[in-house]
Amino acid sequence: MESNKKYWKGLEEYNNTPDFVKNNKNEFAEPLPIEDVLNEAGLSTVTPRRDFLKALGFGLGAVTLAACQTAPIHKSIPYLVKPEEVTPGIPNYYTSSFNGQSILVKTREGRPIKIEPNPNAGEFFRGTDARAQASVLDLYDVSKLKAPLLKNEETTWAKLDGFVKTELTKAQASGKKIRIVSSTVNSPSTNAVLAQFIAKYPAAKLVQYDAVSYTGIIQANQNSFGKAVLPKYNFDSADLILSFGADFLGTWISGEEFTAQYSKNRSYKSLESKKMSRHIHFESGMSLTGSNADTRVPVKLSEEGPALIALYNAVTGQSLPGGTLGNNTTADKVIKLAAKELLQNKGKALVVCGSNDVSTQILVNAINAAIGSYGTTIDLDNPCYLYAGNDAEFNGLVAEMSRGEVGAVLFLNSNPAYDYIDAKKFEAALKSVPAKISFADRADETASLCDAVAINHNYLESWGDANAYEGYYSIVQPTINPVFNSRQAEESLLVWADAPVKDYYQFVRSNWETKMLPALGLKWNDVLEKGVISIAPKAATAYTFTQSVAPVAASILNRSKSLAKDIELQVYENIPMRDGKNANNAFLQELPDPVSKVTWDNYVAIAPKYAETLKVKEFDVVTVKAANGYSIDLPVLIQPGQARGTASIALGYGRTKVGKAGNDVGKNAFPFVSFINGTMQYATSVTITPTGGYYELAQTQTHHSFEGRAVIKEATFKEYLKDPAAGNEKGEHKDYDLWDQYEKPGNNWVMAIDLNACTGCGSCVVACNVENNIPVVGRDEVRRRREMHWIRIDRYYSYETPEGDVTKEKEIANLEDLDHVSVVHQPMLCQHCDHAPCETVCPVLATVHSSDGLNHMAYNRCVGTRYCANNCPYKVRRFNWFNYWNDSRFDNYLNNEFTQLVLNPDVTARSRGVMEKCSMCIQRIQGGKLKAKLEKRPLKDGDIKMACQEACSANAIVFGDSNDPNSEVSKALRSERIYYVLEEINVKPGIGYMTKIRNTDTKVQA
């Protein structure tokens, strides 16, 4: 068909008139007066009124419309010049160290977003603790200073250096002392820097001051064996562990490492080889370690000394006076039997004590020597350098300062204005120091009293190294350029010392390259790659204890007597907050205490029966007053297992100048610490009076007994040896099924959780938070029971009676003896049920099952009816009640663009009104599959690890493919101990739990 028809627009075109031909060349039919307007004359003509109004109208309209919407500003980094090692979407891992532990830092597009354990770190560094996991958030903390301060004004480094150098020179010249107050320094490079600094300023000296001190053990070793060190403890070599108040799985020295050692003898693998260690624990407050003990005996703080004397007497057959336990018959009985067991386990036993009293630790040394621990379970030849603080030295410094003998003081990683036992005295003493310099990253309690704050890098921005144990070195390397105008403290010291090399990177590198690497035949890059260098340890030798213990025992008894009045108060570190240095970390504030499940506060823990005597109820506010006059008002928490006559308060709270999240959370308990016999003592006596107030603590769990339900299955080791399925007897039943069976080709992802290995420490909770962008909701929301954690640790108490364990709330209410508590910790997360009750009820199919056994959650499809959460028997689904990450009412940390950089870009940040829950780290599963695919190989067992699993030191979580019969998880799931929580309702959960085994069947049953 003819398609090139010609349409004409008018008769002129049709006729092709001359006029048309002429005008057709022009774009406009009539000529526009452009030239007229643009030439001089045009511009000078008078604008007609109508033209003016037209222009005005258009102009105004256009401007108005343009102003209606702000053009969104998208900040992005164009990789026009792509950094060699950065590929968008692919994470990079760098080795570094956190508190002496070697770690891997995951970075995405140049942002550190996750901490993982370094697989090269060694057998017992396979996990990370909650602090390490949460530490990435500190990098993005907006409460930090953005520039150095001089006299509380922002300044430049040049001005600050000028000031500091002048002051230091002045101090040096005046003949006064210069003191560097630091928490323990175990970094060889830092020590080298300090040496250069001291060379320049000979009046300078390092004073090591740890907020929570281990001076007692160090000095006891000096006294007993002439070695002023912390020993290396080998819990893995101990078949019998006796602990007197040492929370070695939690906060004592190196909790994660000890957890790994401890679980080696208690996990499913150990049980399969018919081996399980035995753990007897004496303590006042219920600690994480106590909650894991096979036999736990509550003793008062004043009874701890006599108990040790009694044990010493029983072990050595001597009869030191004072080894009587008065009314505590249980403790008395257990001590006698434990002594027998210790003697049976000579060389395979270990006694540890959490006390910081030198005499007490000397007595412990004597006991350990008597049972042959040295050279086996205690290694004094490869000591631990994690803590080297000297209490007396710092105490002396405060006195020197107040006498005006100190010309300049520098605070490195220390904050005595908060954590010294008498902050007022310290502040007064500080006033007499002419030059005060802090390296804090924020204007904290001490820094705000200083003349200059030379803000230090976060460790993720720093170079450095650490030496946690003799011969064990790890590297610290930066993973991001400094975010603010900060400078590494070591570099500042080098600048002030006018050192030849001021660049700290060069300094660290040359320090390694000259002092360590040549001997090992290694290169600098090897260190960076491996992250840790381990020189073959020396052989541990046995030590004999030769001193007389009589004077020691006398000192212990004196201390015990002075404690035994009023209410004995124990101040302790809890797992989330530790010494309070990380108090502004919202992840840690919201991590529930592993035992009490309290978040965002500290409290006075009192035993249930003792609270009745004191006539206080849970959450009553009481005034706790010490003999030194210090008093605080805190709410009461009823803590089963707490020794009667004692109370416990956690340290690390009550910070006032740490930042938005941590300020005024709880009350400061450091002033309850007292300096006695040359060391800090964490026990004191106080009076408690109710104020009549009421303060509800934010707990993530408020019901504490498991009501005899098959949710928890337990057996004793003896029963287990007879029948591995003990406690897990399966009755006869027939399964009926409403649903079609689907094949799971490829993978079927499942998990096994060993209740015997899990200590309940909670590092998995924080690891999951960081990995999956889980919002922190704050104290009020936790009180409303709205915390968002995808994995939680359920902690249940049951009470031991002669008739068996009592687990039901109503029966517990009638019990007289609430002192003998056994505890079980159960990690609970989405069970990825094959017959998931949540999936059938969702009206919009927002939660569905995948062919690889996972229960998916499509956030974008969710309309938020919450039916799935109601119908979840495990109550693991979490609802976004508000827009937590972008709502000023929940401004704990994430409501600013800077902190949002911590978010994992592989995981969607969920909006308000959407349900969420454990996804089995689906981003990790996909990542692992993709990696295998790119490498053209099948996925193999262990390629994919869950965030919780990777953080777990105890190896309690095993994840993998049940379609592979040889996978670790398939093997674990074949254990006779495996049971599925609520399997009787036939939801076919995908996570198998292993029964809790307690090694209680010796005669030492409490």
Partner 1 sequence: MSGHNESILREPLITGDNITYAKITDDILGPVENKPNKAWWIGFIFASLGALLWVVAVSYTFWNGIGAWGLNKTVGWAWDITGFVWWVGIGHAGTLISAVLLLFRQNWRNSINRSAEAMTIFAVICAATYVVSHMGRPWLAYWVLPLPNQFGSLWVNFNSPLVWDMFAISTYFSVSLLFWYTGLLPDIATIRDRAVGTRRKIYSIFSFGWSGSVKTWQRFEAVSLILAGISTPLVLSVHTIVSMDFATSVIPGWHTTIFPPYFVAGAIFSGFAMVLTLLLVARKVLGLENYITMFHIESMNKIIILTGSIVGVAYLTEFFIAWYSGSEYEQYAFINRSTGPYWWAYWMMMTCNVISPQLLWFKKIRLSIRATWILSIVVNIGMWFERFVIIVTSLHRDYIPSSWAMFYPTWVDVSVFVGSIGLFFTLFLLFLRVLPSIAIAEVKLLLKSASEQAKMKQIKEGHENKEYVAEYIESLEKFDSVKQEDYAKI
Our finding on whether 781 is near partner 1 (CB under 8 A) is: yes
CB 691 within 8 A of CB 623: yes
Which stretch in 429-437, 493-501, 638-646, 786-794 sits in contact with partner 1 by CB under 8 A?
786-794
Nearest to 380 by CA among 222, 518, 611, 493: 222
Which stretch in 127-135, 196-204, 465-473, 859-867 sits in contact with partner 1 by CB under 8 A?
859-867
Question: Of 371 and 868, which CB lies nearer to partner 1 in the complex structure?
Answer: 868
Smallest gap from Cβ 760 to partner 1, in A, equals: 12
* Cβ within 8 Å of residue 733, ≥6 positions away: 984
Among 276, 362, 583, 981, binds partner 1 (CB under 8 A): 981
Our finding on whether 851 is near partner 1 (CB under 8 A) is: no
Which stretch in 105-113, 220-228, 752-760, 869-877 sits in contact with partner 1 by CB under 8 A?
869-877
Smallest gap from Cβ 787 to partner 1, in A, equals: 7
Which stretch in 516-524, 530-538, 683-691, 703-711 sits in contact with partner 1 by CB under 8 A?
703-711
Our finding on whether 779 is near partner 1 (CB under 8 A) is: no
Three-class secondary structure of residue 464 per DSSP: strand
Q: Which two tokens stand for residue 641?
A: 């297992």
Smallest gap from Cβ 889 to partner 1, in A, equals: 9
Smallest gap from Cβ 886 to partner 1, in A, equals: 11
DSSP 230-296: EEEE-GGG-SEEEEES--TTTTSSSHHHHHHHHHHTTSHHHHHTT---EEEEEESS--HHHHH-SEE
Smallest gap from Cβ 473 to partner 1, in A, equals: 43
Smallest gap from Cβ 366 to partner 1, in A, equals: 43
For residue 146, count CB atoms less than 10 angstroms from its CB and return exposed for 0-12, middle for 13-18, buried for 19 or more. exposed
Our finding on whether 707 is near partner 1 (CB under 8 A) is: yes
Among 166, 541, 870, 896, binds partner 1 (CB under 8 A): 870
Smallest gap from Cβ 796 to partner 1, in A, equals: 7
Q: Which two tokens stand for residue 761?
A: 């420490």
Our finding on whether 866 is near partner 1 (CB under 8 A) is: yes
**Side chain identity at 575, as an amino acid letter?**
I
The b-or-e profile of 757-793 (16+ CB within 10 A means b, else e) is: bbbbbbbbbbbbbbbbbbbbbbbebbeeebbbbbbbb
C-alpha angle 891-893-894 in degrees, rounded to nearest 5: 85
Rounded-to-integer distance, Cα 885 and Cα 395, Å: 44
* Cβ within 8 Å of residue 249, ≥6 positions away: 255, 258, 259, 262, 288, 289, 292, 759, 761
Question: Of 351 and 987, which CB lies nearer to partner 1 in the complex structure?
Answer: 987
Question: Of 718 and 866, which CB lies nearer to partner 1 in the complex structure?
Answer: 866
For the window 910-949, what string marks contact with partner 1 as x by the rule CB under 8 A? -xxxxx----------------------------------
Question: Of 432 and 840, which CB lies nearer to partner 1 in the complex structure?
Answer: 840
Our finding on whether 908 is near partner 1 (CB under 8 A) is: no
Question: Of 801 and 870, which CB lies nearer to partner 1 in the complex structure?
Answer: 870
Smallest gap from Cβ 799 to partner 1, in A, equals: 15
For the window 644-683, what string marks contact with partner 1 as x by the rule CB under 8 A? ----------------------------------------
Residue 140 φ then ψ, to 5°: -100, 25
Q: Which two tokens stand for residue 369?
A: 């020597």
Question: Of 856 and 866, which CB lies nearer to partner 1 in the complex structure?
Answer: 866
Smallest gap from Cβ 793 to partner 1, in A, equals: 9
Among 110, 322, 537, 873, binds partner 1 (CB under 8 A): 873
Question: Of 467 and 759, which CB lies nearer to partner 1 in the complex structure?
Answer: 759
Q: Which two tokens stand for residue 674?
A: 């007292």
Question: Of 171 and 788, which CB lies nearer to partner 1 in the complex structure?
Answer: 788
For residue 625, count CB atoms less than 10 angstroms from its CB and return exposed for 0-12, middle for 13-18, buried for 19 or more. middle
For the window 788-807, what string marks contact with partner 1 as x by the rule CB under 8 A? ----x-xxx-----------
Among 318, 663, 865, 900, binds partner 1 (CB under 8 A): 865
What's the per-residue H, E or C state across 334-385?
HHHHHHHHHHHCCCCEEEEECCCCHHHHHHHHHHHHHCCCECCCEEEEEEEC
Question: Of 695 and 882, which CB lies nearer to partner 1 in the complex structure?
Answer: 882
Rounded-to-integer distance, Cα 525 and Cα 190, Å: 20
Strand runs labelled E in 442-548: 452-453, 464-469, 472-476, 532-534
Q: How many residues form the binding site for partner 1 (CB under 8 A)?
A: 56
Smallest gap from Cβ 969 to partner 1, in A, equals: 23
Question: Of 159 and 785, which CB lies nearer to partner 1 in the complex structure?
Answer: 785
Our finding on whether 787 is near partner 1 (CB under 8 A) is: yes
From residue 952, give the alpha-carbon distance in Å to each of 242, 260, 760, 878.
24, 9, 10, 23
Rounded-to-integer distance, Cα 714 and Cα 835, Å: 26
Question: Of 491 and 794, which CB lies nearer to partner 1 in the complex structure?
Answer: 794
Our finding on whether 895 is near partner 1 (CB under 8 A) is: no
Question: Of 690 and 837, which CB lies nearer to partner 1 in the complex structure?
Answer: 837
DSSP 780-822: HHHHTT----SSEEEEEEEEEETTEEE--HHHHTT-S--S-EE
For the window 288-307, what string marks contact with partner 1 as x by the rule CB under 8 A? --------------------
Among 20, 524, 695, 881, binds partner 1 (CB under 8 A): 881
* Cβ within 8 Å of residue 82, ≥6 positions away: none
Among 159, 561, 875, 974, binds partner 1 (CB under 8 A): 875
Which stretch in 415-423, 493-501, 784-792, 924-932 sits in contact with partner 1 by CB under 8 A?
784-792
DSSP 87: B
Rounded-to-integer distance, Cα 789 and Cα 766, Å: 9
Considering only residues 68 through 107, tell me which ones interact with partner 1, judged by CB under 8 A: none
Our finding on whether 850 is near partner 1 (CB under 8 A) is: no
The DSSP bridge pattern shows strands 452-453 and 435-438 to be parallel
CB 668 within 8 A of CB 650: no
Our finding on whether 985 is near partner 1 (CB under 8 A) is: yes
CB 467 within 8 A of CB 187: yes
Three-class secondary structure of residue 67 per DSSP: helix
For the window 805-844, what string marks contact with partner 1 as x by the rule CB under 8 A? ---------------------x-x--------x--xxxxx
Among 64, 525, 548, 702, binds partner 1 (CB under 8 A): 702
Rounded-to-integer distance, Cα 202 and Cα 173, Å: 10
Our finding on whether 695 is near partner 1 (CB under 8 A) is: no
CB 828 within 8 A of CB 917: no
Our finding on whether 864 is near partner 1 (CB under 8 A) is: yes
* CA dihedral (153, 156, 160, 163) positive or negative: negative
Among 709, 722, 933, 940, binds partner 1 (CB under 8 A): 709
Among 987, 991, 997, 1006, binds partner 1 (CB under 8 A): 987
Our finding on whether 742 is near partner 1 (CB under 8 A) is: no
Our finding on whether 878 is near partner 1 (CB under 8 A) is: yes
CB 289 within 8 A of CB 263: no
Binding site for partner 1 (CB under 8 A): 701-703, 705-709, 711, 781, 784-787, 792, 794-796, 826, 828, 837, 840-845, 861-867, 869-871, 873-875, 877-883, 911-915, 981-982, 985, 987
